[in-house]
Amino acid sequence: MIDIALVDKIANVARIEMNDEEKKESAKSLAEMLDYVEELTKIDTTGVKPAAYMVASHDVLRDDVAGGELSQKEALKNAPLAKKGHFAIPKVIG
């Protein structure tokens, strides 16, 4: 049973401040959730495969396939700054 004392403990652990009305509503909501979970445990799931997701998923990205190589000139073509055939960046370590 979910009572105000349990809601107080949960709120304290979660560092949530609640007034009395919020505590009453939270106790009611938590009790309803637990009742629903109890109903779910009564469902016969014999033969149902476990799933990580509710819907079938597929990889929408293309396969990672090695492509052609870039020349040094092509690789540096869009660089904001290049020096002596390398990417030039601001100094980051003293």
Looking at residue 8, what is its pLDDT? 95
Looking at residue 54, what is its pLDDT? 73
Number of domains in the chain: 1
Q: Is residue 18 part of a domain?
A: yes
Q: Is residue 59 part of a domain?
A: no
Q: Is residue 71 part of a domain?
A: no
What pLDDT band is residue 93 in, cutting at 50, 70 and 90?
Answer: confident
Q: Is 30 exposed, middle or buried (0-12, 13-18, 19+ CB in 10 A)?
A: middle
CATH number for the domain that contains residue 32: 1.10.20
Sequence-distant (6+) residues with CB within 8 A of 31 are: 1, 2
Is the whole-model pTM more than 0.95? no
Q: Is residue 83 part of a domain?
A: no
Q: Is residue 73 part of a domain?
A: no
pLDDT digits (tens, 9 = 90+) for 29-47: 999 999 999 999 999 999 9
Q: Is residue 8 part of a domain?
A: yes
Q: Is residue 14 part of a domain?
A: yes
pLDDT digits (tens, 9 = 90+) for 1-23: 799 999 999 999 999 999 999 99
User: What is the domain extent for residue 37?
Assistant: 4-41
